[in-house]
Amino acid sequence: MKILDLFNNPPKREIVRPYIIAEAGVNHEGSMDTAKRLIDEAKEGGADAIKFQTYKAETIASKDSPAYWDTTKEPTESQFKLFKKHDKFWKKEFVELKEYCDKADIEFMSTPFDVKAADFLNDLMDVFKISSSDITNKPFIEYICDFKKPIILSTGASYLYEIEEAVGWVENKNVPLALLHCVLNYPTDDENAHLGMIRGLKKKFPDIMIGYSDHTMPKEMKVLEVATLLGSIIIEKHFTHDKTLPGNDHYHAMDVEDLKKFNRKLDEILTIVGDEKVHALESEGKSRDNARRSLVAKRDIPKGKVIEYKDLTWKRPASGISPRLIDDVIGKKTVSDIEADEVLNWNRIG
């Protein structure tokens, strides 16, 4: 499924196989070969899309902007210095990556962090992703809205009123929107994931698709399982070709084996979840026939007698008249003798 299809036909079910975005970000570290490897491995692992990040250090951060990540994992203490390490890819490189994604049959996405990036990415994507860090950036959100393409907006570190404001800016432009619950810790401890906010967003914005952008350590991918069961329609998680690499977003990212594991778990989960429409299953037929009850004569009932409540009891199996129809039986006459403990059938009642 393409992301645009998801916006055009949002799922009606509460729990679905989510659209999976492998967030490569800048884990290519300026290498086209690595970027293409990330694309291949995201496809191999079962992602629907791979997403990069597009920025220039000069337009995203001032030179004195402090770090907000775990500096024991990524020691760079200035945002500007970190972004400067990873801002080499621009239009030419992203056009090449888009073409490579098309050949690999995986959807290309990249988050823009300035208007120039948004301008050229508009030609490469059907949907825009806006970072949590820009949720209060009204002019930038409105600029992207003017492309008239659906927007996926992460909500990390936001109060509800800030999310409501951002939703209002997008809705005023008549642009489709999806919100991703997100916790802006790198990494996020499991106890800080607060996946209940997925439900909170669904209640607050019932007409908007809700998903989850994850920064927890991958481990057994349990957090993403729970996010799915809470109704996430889109799941985004950082992605790397090597989790042992130092710095940036490698240390809390999933790799191809984690992604495969998650997809296997999704198969198991969705099989267990099964149908939402309530109905009796074919596999329950024997139980319906034998574990349910029928109306049974509590004592001998002679031919021609008007059946009373005290003439009846109910026992297994369900081969006779169901107890739910007791009101239709009481007041009827028997057409033949009925012995005590006999299962009642309509052919014995007039």
Q: What is the DSSP string of 91-156?
A: HHHHHHHHHHHHHHT-EEEEEESSHHHHHHHTTT-SSEEE-GGGTT-HHHHHHHHTT---EEEE-T
Return the CATH number at 294. 3.90.1210.10
How much is the pTM?
Answer: 0.90
Q: CB-hemisphere CA count at 13 Å for 298?
A: 8
User: Which residues are CB-contacts of 142 (< 8 A; sequence separation ≥ 6)?
Assistant: 169, 173
Give the CA radius of gyration of the chain.
30
207-231 burial by CB neighbour count: b if 16+ within 10 A, else e? Answer: ebbbbbbbbbebeebebbebbbbbb
Q: What is the DSSP letter of 338?
A: B
Same domain flag for 288 and 240: no
Which of 273, 304, 329 lies at the terminal end of a domain, its last residue? 273
Same domain flag for 335 and 251: no
Q: What is the DSSP letter of 132?
A: G
Taking alpha carbons only, the member of 147, 109, 148, 114 closest to residue 129 is: 109
Cβ 30 vs Cβ 4: under 8 Å? no
Number of domains in the chain: 2
What pLDDT is stored for residue 350 in this prediction?
A: 86
Same domain flag for 231 and 326: no
Which of 252, 273, 294 lies at the terminal end of a domain, its last residue? 273
Domain housing 148: 12-273
pLDDT in tens, the chain (350 residues): 899 999 999 999 999 999 999 999 999 999 999 999 999 999 999 999 999 999 998 988 888 888 777 777 778 787 787 777 778 999 999 999 999 999 999 999 999 999 999 999 999 999 999 999 999 999 999 999 999 999 999 999 999 999 999 999 999 999 999 999 999 998 999 999 999 999 999 999 999 999 999 999 999 999 999 999 999 999 999 999 999 998 778 989 999 999 999 999 999 999 999 999 999 999 999 999 999 999 999 999 999 999 999 999 999 999 999 999 999 999 999 999 999 999 999 999 98
What pLDDT is stored for residue 82 in this prediction?
A: 74
Which of 245, 273, 301 lies at the terminal end of a domain, its last residue? 273
Cis peptide bond prior to 139, omega within 30° of 0: no
User: Which residues are CB-contacts of 55 (< 8 A; sequence separation ≥ 6)?
Assistant: 83, 87, 112, 113, 114, 117
Secondary structure (3-state) at 187: coil
Return the CATH number at 186. 3.20.20.70
Question: Considering the domain boundaries, does residue 3 fall inside one?
Answer: no
Query: Which residues are registered as beta bridge partners of 293?
Result: none
What pLDDT is stored for residue 81 in this prediction?
A: 75
Same domain flag for 321 and 230: no
Same domain flag for 253 and 298: no
Question: Considering the domain boundaries, does residue 278 fall inside one?
Answer: no
Token pair for residue 144? Answer: 């992207």
Q: How far apart are CA 225 and CA 228, in angstroms?
A: 5
Long-range CB contacts (within 8 A, 24+) of 68-73: 68/184, 68/186, 69/186, 70/186, 70/187, 70/251, 73/186, 73/187, 73/246, 73/247, 73/251, 73/252
Same domain flag for 258 and 292: no
Q: What is the DSSP letter of 14?
A: S
